[in-house]
């Protein structure tokens, strides 16, 4: 009995094209963030089935994040954007983050019953 395997090469090509577009879109967003903040560095965090989180920290202390549908796409996007990627969010990298009144008020509201900024 012969083994049969149905392979739809058209579907594979469509998935590859979709992944390439996602990489390009994320790289463009990372580049825009970097330009707006005088440069940027990042860190990737695996989110399970949801994908991967790309945490960005600008040279001015501004920060933000993006979510990629997979860790592989996130890695390709940061490579295409040309930013430095850290293994962990700690030390000098974490010290670059500058939070403002909004973040402090939100954290206080969540932790000790402070205002919630809603």
Mean of pLDDT over the chain: 86
pLDDT at 112 over 80: no
pLDDT tens, residue by residue, 78-94: 999 999 999 998 888 88
**Structure pTM?**
0.78
- Within 8 A by CB and 6+ apart from 104, the residues are none
pLDDT at 29: 97
């Amino acid at each position: 009995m012969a083994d049969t395997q149905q392979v739809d090469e058209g579907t594979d090509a469509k998935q590859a094209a979709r992944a390439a577009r996602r990489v390009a879109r994320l790289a463009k967003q990372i580049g825009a963030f970097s330009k707006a903040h005088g440069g940027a560095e990042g860190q990737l965090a695996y989110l399970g089935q949801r994908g991967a989180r790309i945490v960005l920290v600008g040279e001015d202390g501004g920060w933000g994040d993006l979510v990629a549908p997979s860790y592989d796409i996130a890695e390709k996007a940061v490579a295409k954007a040309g930013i430095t990627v850290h293994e962990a969010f700690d030390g000098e990298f974490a010290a670059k983050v500058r939070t403002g009144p909004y973040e402090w008020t939100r954290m206080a509201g969540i932790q000790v019953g402070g205002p919630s900024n809603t």
